[in-house]
A and B are shown apart, each in its own frame.
Chain A
Amino acid sequence: EAGVAQSPRYKIIEKRQSVAFWCNPISGHATLYWYQQILGQGPKLLIQFQNNGVVDDSQLPKDRFSAERLKGVDSTLKIQPAKLEDSAVYLCASSSRQIANTGELFFGEGSRLTVL
């Protein structure tokens, strides 16, 4: 079974530029999450989708971050304009409706963003 795919793995941009990250969850997984992990800290939830609807985006800085999950499959996370403090690894995770109760989320390898 293929895992959660993310791209790009690495991205370096100047502050005030824009960047987009893509996530392809495990086939059939209805729930998709984006986490931000700053160096030395645990992952922090940014947004959670159930199919193509947003369940929780309370931690998403909406003035600069946006995310969408068209057709309830792939998802894109965008940052515009980027700030220095956005330097982090952006992790995508998914879970199926059936395993949601077990707490098992499957994570991708992440996209590392460096803002200069």
Chain B
Amino acid sequence: DAKTTQPTSMDCAEGRAANLPCNHSTISGNEYVYWYRQIHSQGPQYIIHGLKNNETNEMASLIITEDRKSSTLILPHATLRDTAVYYCIVRVPNQAGTALIFGKGTTLSVSS
């Protein structure tokens, strides 16, 4: 079972920041937080991951609370193409390639 809790859906205006929350209150010390998204009729796509420090890449920023029990994915300037289902996943990476356990995710709708 997924170890995370996310809102079912969220709306965002085009050009505004989209802030997607995720609760992972039972996260253990060696588990990372990962975010993937799935655009309609496509396979999931990796966005970003982190352990305890905030992370930023060309797609998004990840803010993890100090107690690591929750995190927020930030899309700084949402576009219509960011409309997708966003999955927050916690996992322990290993050399064999630990599989991802997906929940239902958050459906983000970006409108003009």
Seen from chain A, the residues whose Cβ lies within 8 Å of a Cβ on chain B are 4, 30-31, 33, 35, 40-45, 48, 50, 55-56, 91, 93, 95, 97, 100-110
7 sample A-B contacts, Cβ–Cβ < 8 Å, listed by A number: A42-B103, A45-B99, A100-B97, A101-B95, A103-B98, A108-B43, A109-B43
- Residues from chain A with Cβ under 8 Å of B100 in the complex: 43, 45, 103, 105
A30, B96: Cα distance in complex, Å: 9
Partner of A50, one of B85, B93, B97, B101: B97
B104 and A31 contact, CB distance less than 8 A: no
A103 and B96 contact, CB distance less than 8 A: no
A39, B72: Cα distance in complex, Å: 26
Q: Lowest 4 CB-CB distances: which A-B pairs, in order?
A: A107-B43, A42-B102, A31-B97, A100-B97
Can you name 20 extra interface pairs (CB under 8 A) apart from A95-B97, A103-B89, A110-B43?
A4-B43, A31-B97, A35-B102, A42-B85, A42-B87, A42-B102, A42-B103, A42-B104, A44-B102, A48-B97, A55-B96, A93-B44, A100-B93, A100-B95, A100-B97, A101-B95, A103-B98, A105-B46, A108-B43, A109-B41
- Residues from chain A with Cβ under 8 Å of B112 in the complex: none
A115, B49: Cα distance in complex, Å: 37
Q: Judge if B59 is at the interface, Cβ distance under 8 Å.
A: no
* Closest B residue, CB atoms, query A97: B95
A55, B41: Cα distance in complex, Å: 28
- Residues from chain A with Cβ under 8 Å of B104 in the complex: 40-42
- Residues from chain B with Cβ under 8 Å of A101 in the complex: 93-95
B46 and A104 contact, CB distance less than 8 A: yes
Give the one of A33, A40, A42, A110 with max B CB within 10 A.
Answer: A42
